[in-house]
Amino acid sequence: MSIQLPLGIGLRDDASFDNFISGANAEAVSAVQRSARNGGGDPIIYLWGGDGVGKTHLLQAACHQASAQGEAAAYIPLAQAGELSPAMLEGLEQIALVCIDDIQAIAAQPAWEAALFHLYNRLRDSGTRCIIAGNAAPAGLGLRLPDLVSRLAWGLVLHLAALDDEGLLAALQLRARNRGLDMPEEVAQFLLRRHSRDMPLLFTLLDRLDHASLAAQRRLTIPFVKDVVG
Amino acid sequence: MNASLWQACLERLERELTPQQFNTWIRPLHVVEEESSLRLLAPNQFVLDWVNNRFSGQITDTLAKFDQGTGTPRLILEIGSSKTATTKTMSPASKPTALKKRLHPTPREEAAEIDHVSNLKPEFTFDAFVNGKSNQLAHAAALQVAENPGGAYNPLFIYGGVGLGKTHLMHAIGNLIVDKKPNAKIVYLHSEQFVGDMVKALQHNSIDDFKRYYRSVDALLIDDIQFFAGKDRSQEEFFHTFNYLMEGQRQIIMTCDRYPKEVDGLEERLKSRFGWGLTVHIEPPELETRVAILMNKAIQSGYELSREVAFFVAKRIRSNVRELEGALRRVIANARFTGEPITLEFTKEALKDLLAVQERLVTIENIQKTVAEYYKVRVSDLTSPRRSRSVARPRQLAMALAKELTRHSLPEIGNAFGGRDHTTVLHACKKVVELRSNDNHLNEDYSNLLRTLTS
């Protein structure tokens, strides 16, 4: 049995700071954590990095953390801007923590860019904490509104680097363990070597393995993994 | 109502929804538990509708399930937040005031009764403003206006690119006026807020209060006036407010990202009125000013920056003050995190991602493309042997920009411009320096291009 679940469903169910492997990103993770805990520091943070470096994980962990403290938090997935509306940004300055993901998705959409610009101003005026994530530095997002670019560059801008092999291995094993799955190191290494070093893809593989191992009542061994994912 | 009831709803929703759905739609809700109802406050109509359409069923089901014989609590969805749970927020301008008690108040009495919110930021003072060649005129004009509001420089129109200090100057004027005359009624707002307040006032049938609010100020400070573009009703309202204030010799200060006449979507009668007083331009700060800004800002954050470090950063970040501040913020955050002193090596390391991005963005190719677009010529014209003035000038500018912004050698730059000799590039660079000092128009072109390329 192999069901491939779309990303974002069932995968990041437990995105928290505890199950995030920082690797070379300790400073960025610490800044996000501080913001989530309302522990001072820069109120507006911009995180950027390629796919699979953990931006979404961190934003969701931050929302989770804020809620656990009894604060209202909002996660705005701009990758789905098509089914949302800039109107959903109204009043967000009343919320304790606002996390905006995939800002690149609304580049060159004037209504969204303007709405984000105005939201930024309101957040700043009210001192609301905000973490924004995108796949490039502010100047490289392809935004048309220079006012928005300069504001993104104004806050604390932090780059997230991809994990090295050791980090990937640790992240994969940790994720497996959290699902109650024992993934021996050689299996993790096999996946890294033969399949992918891309985090989201690895997690999708893990998901398939999880289902398959459950269905077949088998442990994760290299032969079994080969059977399932080829 | 039982507190664990909402907790139970949350647990169920967290199980049934994807983490993203939960974080996007459920976590932003603020809950007010009342005796026989569960009141959920959403930040806006959009979130409210979404929750209502997709999740209210699950919520009511859960509520019913946990009913312990006292009847199922009613689910109420409203717009609001923890901050507004007790009092509804409305900005003062759209809030019906106590004015209605009086039928015919005189203008002075009116003003005395309205609670004006200045929105002034106390940290934006003239003292904190770093003065340099690029903003000298605007700074001087702002001081004049602060000394003598409603006088000769009315309205004061400050324009320039993003992040150059227009808003700072505006607040500085307001702050100084209040310093001198503590009961002065100053209102600062972004043009977007004027639009928003007006819409709310129309909805709440309080447009007269809205008018009275803005017409009873001693100084009105409106930021980013270009956002009025295409909003006809707001422009109409602002037009009347503008006239009213001008007649009463009240000060108006506006900022904009461009010269009034160049704002598309703005009524002609507004554009012409904006030019009635004094129009001043702020340019991007030159190197020395950027260094001074960095050193000042660092001290405000409790750090001292060596001139060497300040020069290193200022030479590389030239587009605007915001980006300069962003770079400094990055360095300071890194110093706090690692506990290391801010040396040149440390700064280079802390900014390496940022600077790498800049270098990637500023290539000779990109410069050629940007210059060609600016002068409406083709990139192939710039690399062609043609020597007519209409392409020679843009080509010289592009070469000078390539020398200034990239690390390419003169022969490499010459090569990229159709195999020209390095002496041609050198000549172009010298020519541009000369032209910039005696041709204002060309100097402005150069600044605009530099800004476009580095931001």
What confidence category does residue B332 fall into, taking pLDDT thresholds of 50, 70 and 90? very high
Q: What is the mean pLDDT of chain B?
A: 88
Q: Which DSSP string corresponds to B289-342?
A: HHHHHHHHHHHHTT----HHHHHHHHHH--S-HHHHHHHHHHHHHHHHHH----
Instruction: Write down the pTM of the prediction.
Output: 0.82
* Residue A33 clears pLDDT 90, i.e. is over it: yes
CB contact (8 A) between residue B27 and residue A88: no
Residues 383-442, chain B, touching A (beta carbon < 8 A):
none
Please report which confidence band the pLDDT of residue A207 belongs to, taking 50, 70 and 90 as the band edges.
confident
Cβ–Cβ contact B45 with A under 8 A: yes
The predicted pLDDT at position A151 comes to 95
| Residue pointed to by tokens 């506990």 | B339
- Which pLDDT tens digit goes with each residue over A69-125? 989 999 999 999 999 999 999 999 999 999 999 999 999 999 999 999 999 999 998
User: For the residues of B410-438, what is the DSSP string, one character each?
Assistant: HHHHHHHTTS--HHHHHHHHHHHHHHHHH
**Confidence category of residue B67, pLDDT binned at 50, 70, 90:** low
Q: Is B90 on the interface with A (CB under 8 A)?
A: no
CA B445/CA B449 separation, integer angstroms: 6
Share of residues in chain A with pLDDT > 70 (%): 94
Determine the straight-line distance between the first and last CA of chain B, rounded to whole angstroms. 54
Burial class (CB in 10 A: 0-12, 13-18, 19+), A222: middle
B81 close contact with A: CB closer than 8 A: yes
Question: Which of chain A's residues have a Cβ under 8 Å away from the Cβ of B330?
Answer: 156-158
Q: Which residues of A touch B82 (CB under 8 A)?
A: 72, 94
- The helix (H) or strand (E) run that includes residue A133 is strand A129-134
CB-facing half-sphere around the CA of B22: CA atoms within 13 A: 24
Using the CB atoms, write b or e for B406-419: b if 16+ within 10 Å: bebebeebbbbbee
**Does the pLDDT value for residue B106 go beyond 60?**
no
Q: What's the rounded Cα separation, in Å, for the pair B92 and B115?
A: 7
Return d(Cα A197, Cα B388) in angstroms, integer: 54
Residue ranges and CATH numbers for the domains of chain A are 6-159 (3.40.50.300), 165-229 (1.10.8.60)
Q: Which residues of B touch A64 (CB under 8 A)?
A: 23
Asked if the Cβ–Cβ distance from B323 to A150 is below 8 Å, we say yes
**In chain B, whose CA is at the least distance from the CA of A92?**
B43
pLDDT digits (tens, 9 = 90+) for B144-196: 999 999 998 999 999 999 999 999 999 999 999 999 999 999 999 999 999 99
Q: Do B333 and A99 touch (CB under 8 A)?
A: no
Cβ pair B329:A125 closer than 8 A: no
Q: What pLDDT shows up at residue B7? A: 82
Give the whole-angstrom CA distance, residue B368 versus residue B383. 9
Residues 350..389 of B with a Cβ closer than 8 Å to A: which? 353-354, 357-358, 360-361
Contact of B84 with chain A, judged by CB distance below 8 Å, is answered with yes
With CB atoms and an 8 Å threshold, state whether B23 touches A60. yes
- The whole-angstrom distance between B104's CA and the closest CA on chain A is 36
Alpha-carbon Rg of chain A, whole angstroms? 19
pLDDT at residue B68, rounded to an integer: 66
The nearest CA of chain B is from the CA of A36 a distance in Å of 14
- Which of A71-85, B2-16, B18-32 is predicted least confidently? B2-16
Is residue B344 a contact partner of residue B308, using CB atoms and an 8 Å limit? yes
User: Taking 50 as the threshold, does the pLDDT of residue B274 lie above it?
Assistant: yes
Q: How confident is the model at residue B87 (pLDDT cuts 50, 70, 90)?
A: very low
Q: What are phi and psi of B379, to 5 degrees?
A: -60, -35
Q: In Å, how far is A222's CA from the nearest CA of chain B? A: 31
Which of B7, B10, B27 to mutate: most A Cβ within 10 Å?
B27
b vs e for A44-80, b when ≥16 Cβ sit within 10 Å of the residue's Cβ?
bbbbbbeebbbbbbbbbbbbbbbbeeebbbbbbbbee
Residue that wins the pLDDT comparison between B212 and B358 = B212
Q: What is the 3-state secondary structure (H, E, C) of B194-256?
A: HHHHHHHHHHCCCHHHHHHHHHCCCEEEEECHHHHCCCHHHHHHHHHHHHHHHHCCCEEEEEE
Cβ(A132)–Cβ(A152) below 8 Å: yes
Contacts A151 to B, Cβ<8 Å: 322
Phi, psi (5° rounding) for residue A157? -100, 125
Cα torsion angle, A129, A135, A140, A143, sign: negative
Note the pLDDT tens digit of each residue in B432-453: 999 988 888 888 888 888 878 8
Average pLDDT over residues B240-266: 94
* Reported confidence tier of residue B105, pLDDT bands at 50, 70, 90: very low
- pLDDT tens sequence across B375-398: 999 999 999 998 898 999 999 999
The amino acid at B96: P
